[in-house]
Amino acid sequence: MTALAHRLSPEPEAPRAPPVLFVSGLAKRFGARQILRDVTFEARPGEVTALIGANGTGKSTLLRSIVRLVEPDAGTVTVLDQEVRGLDRKALKAFRSRVGFVFQKHNLVGRLSVLTNVIHGVQARMSGPRTWHHALAPAAIRDEAMACLAAVGLADRALQRADSLSGGQSQRVAIARMLMQRPELVLADEPDASLDPRAGRALMELLYSLAHDKGLALVVISHRIEHTLAFSDRIVGLADGIVTLELDSRVAHAEQLRAFFERPPAETDRDTANHG
Ligand SMILES: Nc1ncnc2c1ncn2[C@@H]1O[C@H](COP(=O)(O)OP(=O)(O)OP(=O)(O)O)[C@@H](O)[C@H]1O
Ligand SMILES: [Mg+2]
């Protein structure tokens, strides 16, 4: 780029890819309790968006609303230019197969091999007995599953029973299974919650590098401030049903996040900012 072009350029940073996920004005009420009021945020490919907030602020509800495991009351959810709230049953099923979920609980089938568990991830995009067990799977699928296992550093465990793995290893197998879906968007709800500090950190690091290497849009919830800071690109803070914090992780620091958690609810609420 010439010096002149550089001076005229309005954006000093490289342009970011357009969002994979765009949530706008999302609202959800359970009985008399308005959990989400007006939530707007986005997630871009190759980036990790960390979603933070106190217990009960609706973070899990928000992730579940994106794939309509919870039906939102208002607002829009757009994933890769598809308006999710308008999808019929069949289209919703196809849409969900493109979204990877990682939970605190990994739900592997303990008596089956690691490789078979990973192959089960392909059931999001194909069906039939050839997806049931590693011995029945076509070579191409077995190879892909082995590549997914290699991506999480567990290729050498392929033929072991899943129930012989540690918690951290099981969680990584669950991620390999999710990669078999070939998802474009990944939603991870406290994937580090039940892991010890070292395994938890390694898992968050793995998710961060997978998002960057494979260009996945990853939204991750973690209650560990140091994980949020180290393994995200953007931080979105939820309080009182709205987004009250948006930070670039490169410039965010632990004090800011602690202050966010310590602020009383009324002060984080834009609508009550004029009291006193
Ligand atoms: N299906 C439901 N029916 C009624 N209330 C619900 C339902 N799901 C969630 N809630 C309530 O909505 C609120 C938000 O729950 P949610 O699980 O989304 O919070 P969270 O931010 O994920 O909390 P945590 O950090 O503890 O996981 C809570 O008060 C919860 O009890
Ligand atoms: Mg939750």
**pLDDT computed for residue 265 by the predictor:** 62
Cα-to-centroid distance, 53 and ligand 2 (Å): 9
Mean pLDDT by 10 residues, the chain (276 residues): 48 76 98 97 97 97 96 96 94 92 90 96 81 83 95 96 96 96 96 92 96 96 96 97 96 94 62 37
Residues 178 and 195 placed together within one structural domain of the fold: no
Q: Indicate which residue's Cα is closest to atom 13 of ligand 1.
A: 56
CA dihedral 27, 87, 131, 109 (to 10 degrees): 20
Ligand nearest to C-alpha 65: 1
Task: Name all residues whose Cβ lies below 6 A of ligand 1.
Answer: 30, 35, 53, 55-61
Cα 217 to chain centroid distance, Å, stands at: 7
CA of 35 to the centre of ligand 1 (A): 8
Atom of ligand 1 lying closest to residue 57 CA: 21
- State the pLDDT at residue 269: 43
**Is the CB of residue 123 less than 8 Å from the CB of residue 74?**
no
State whether 120 and 48 are in the same domain. no
**Domain C-terminal end among 160, 182, 204:** 182
CATH number, domain containing residue 228: 3.40.50.300
Q: Cα(134) to centroid of ligand 1, in Å?
A: 38
- Of the ligands numbered here, which is closest to the C-alpha atom of 35? 1
Q: Which ligand is nearest to the CA of 58?
A: 1
Q: CA angle, corner 207, sides to 202 and 210, nearest 5? A: 120
Q: Which of 146, 166, 182 is the last residue of a domain?
A: 182
Q: Quote the DSSP letter at residue 114.
A: H
Nearest ligand to the C-alpha of residue 55?
1
Both tokens of 150, joined, read 């290699």
Phi and psi (nearest 5°) for 20? -85, -40
Q: Which is it for strands 217-221 and 47-52: parallel, antiparallel or unpaired?
A: parallel
Which of 30, 51, 221 best tests ligand 1's pocket when mutated (most atoms within 8 Å of CB)?
Answer: 30
CA dihedral 185, 59, 29, 26 (to 10 degrees): -40
Q: Which domain-ending residue is among 133, 166, 182?
A: 182
Domain membership of residue 162 (yes or no) is yes
Does residue 192 sit in the same domain as residue 88?
yes
CA dihedral of 205, 227, 212, 97, whole degrees rounded to 10: 90
Nearest ligand 1 atom to the CA of 223 is: 25
Atom of ligand 1 nearest to the CA of 64: 18
For the packed helices 167-179 and 197-214, what is the interaxial angle rounded to 10 degrees?
A: 10
- Amino acid at residue number 200: G
The pLDDT of residue 133 is 82
Which range marks the domain in which residue 190 is found?
A: 17-98+185-270
CB contact at 8 A, 100 and 21 = no
The torsion defined by the Cα of 183, 119, 123 and 72, in degrees rounded to 10, comes to: -40
Does the model's pTM come out above 0.95?
no
Q: Has residue 5 been placed in a domain?
A: no
Rounded to an integer, what distance in angstroms lies between the CA atom of residue 58 and that of residue 35? 6
Separation of 55 CA from ligand 2 center, angstroms? 7
Please indicate, yes or no, whether residues 165 and 222 belong to a single structural domain of this protein: no
Top mutation candidate among 29, 52, 60 for ligand 1, by most atoms within 8 Å of CB: 60
Residue with CA closest to ligand 1 atom 1? 30
Strands ordered across the beta sheet of 185-189: 82-83, 74-79, 21-30, 33-43, 242-248, 234-239, 47-52, 217-221, 185-189, 99-102
Asked if 135 and 146 sit in the same domain, the reply is: yes
What is the reported pLDDT for 249? 96
Asked whether the beta carbons of 231 and 47 are under 8 A apart, the reply is no
- 131 is written with which tokens? 């997806």
What is the chain's alpha carbon radius of gyration, rounded to the nearest angstrom? 20
The pLDDT, as a whole number, for residue 270 is 42
What DSSP line would sit under 5-55, residue for residue? HHHH-S--SPPPPPPSEEEEEEEEEETTEEEEEEEEEEE-TTEEEEEE--T
Instruction: Give the residue among 125, 122, 112, 39 at the shortest CA–CA distance from 75.
Output: 39
> Using an 8 Å Cβ cutoff, are 133 and 123 in contact?
no
Residue in this structure with the two tokens 């707007």, named with its chain if needed: 40
Tokens for 241? Answer: 């049903």
pLDDT of residue 271: 40
- Tell whether 118 and 59 lie within a shared domain: no
Selection from 166, 181, 171 nearest residue 119 by Cα: 181
